[in-house]
């Protein structure tokens, strides 16, 4: 079933389209949460399918509740989710985050996540009026750390973390020129 609600923004980059999640993205999300690639976002524990559904659906729900949320990014002309990125604010998190996940090995190493996250960050600053954004990253997630640094984000050792009992790096993004 396609979305019965519309009005969510669709963003474009040179190679990608960013859009709100839809039901058709679920199988690829499920495959991702069953795969070793997702270990950093599930605390290293397996994620049962029911929990995976909740995680996926609540991402979509936040669009309706907050008016913004994570975008699915796809190659232009191919509506297949490569991953997800965008501004969001899960429960109990001290501040709003720019998050990203890359769902398959094939989508890696091509700069897609960088391209998508940069566009989503621009949306948060310019459209939503954010004046700052952080990314919370597992210290062992080297690829994610590299992406944060490529995006120009820097470690913010004073920032609060969502779960103080878990090792988390907080990368703070630069405010683009002319804003903030």
Partner 1 sequence: MTAAWEIAPEGRAAEIAAGLAAGVPEIETERLRLRAPRIGDFAAYAEILCSDRAVHIGGPFSREDAFLDFAQGVAGWLLRGHGLWSVETRGDGTLVGFLPLHVEAGDPERELGYLFRAAAEGKGYAHEAARAAREFAYGRLGWRTVVSYVARDNTRSIATAERLGAKPDPAARHPLDPDLIVFRHPAPRRPLL
Contacts with partner 1 by CB under 8 A lie at 1, 3-9, 20-23, 26, 49-55, 57-68, 89-95, 127-129
Q: Could you tell me which of 94, 119, 101 has the C-alpha nearest to residue 19?
A: 119
Give the number of other Cβ atoms within 10 Å of residue 30's Cβ.
15
Indicate the residue among 26 and 114 with the shorter CB distance to partner 1. 26
Indicate the residue among 59 and 102 with the shorter CB distance to partner 1. 59
To the nearest whole angstrom, how small is the minimum distance from the Cβ of residue 61 to partner 1? 3
Q: 175 burial class (0-12, 13-18, 19+ CB within 10 angstroms)?
A: middle
Indicate the residue among 80 and 106 with the shorter CB distance to partner 1. 80
DSSP code at position 95: S
To the nearest whole angstrom, how small is the minimum distance from the Cβ of residue 129 to partner 1? 5
Indicate the residue among 114 and 162 with the shorter CB distance to partner 1. 162
Residue 168's SS3 state is coil
> What is d(CA 24, CA 42) in angstroms, rounded to the nearest whole number?
22
> What is d(CA 116, CA 15) in angstroms, rounded to the nearest whole number?
9
To the nearest whole angstrom, how small is the minimum distance from the Cβ of residue 83 to partner 1? 18
To the nearest whole angstrom, how small is the minimum distance from the Cβ of residue 22 to partner 1? 7
Strands (E), the chain: 11-12, 16-19, 71-75, 83-88, 97-102, 134-137, 154-155, 169-172
To the nearest whole angstrom, how small is the minimum distance from the Cβ of residue 49 to partner 1? 6
Indicate the residue among 23 and 179 with the shorter CB distance to partner 1. 23
Q: Could you tell me which of 21, 18, 19 has the C-alpha nearest to residue 29?
A: 21
């Amino acid at each position: 079933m396609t979305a019965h609600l519309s009005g969510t923004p669709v963003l474009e980059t040179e190679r990608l389209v960013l859009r709100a999640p839809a039901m058709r993205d679920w199988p690829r999300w499920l495959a991702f949460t069953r795969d070793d690639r997702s270990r950093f976002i599930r605390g290293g524990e397996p994620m049962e399918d029911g929990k995976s559904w909740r995680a996926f659906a609540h991402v979509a729900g936040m669009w309706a509740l907050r008016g913004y949320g994570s975008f699915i990014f796809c190659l232009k002309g191919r509506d297949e989710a490569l991953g997800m990125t965008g501004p969001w604010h899960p429960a109990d998190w001290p501040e709003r985050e720019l998050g990203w996940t890359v769902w398959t090995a094939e989508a890696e190493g091509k700069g897609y996540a960088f391209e998508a996250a940069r566009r989503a960050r621009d949306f948060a600053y310019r459209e939503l009026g954010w004046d700052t954004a952080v990314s919370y990253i597992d210290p062992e997630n080297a690829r994610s750390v590299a992406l944060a640094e490529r995006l120009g984000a820097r470690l913010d050792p004073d920032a609060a973390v969502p779960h103080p009992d878990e090792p988390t790096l907080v990368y703070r993004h630069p405010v683009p020129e002319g804003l903030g």
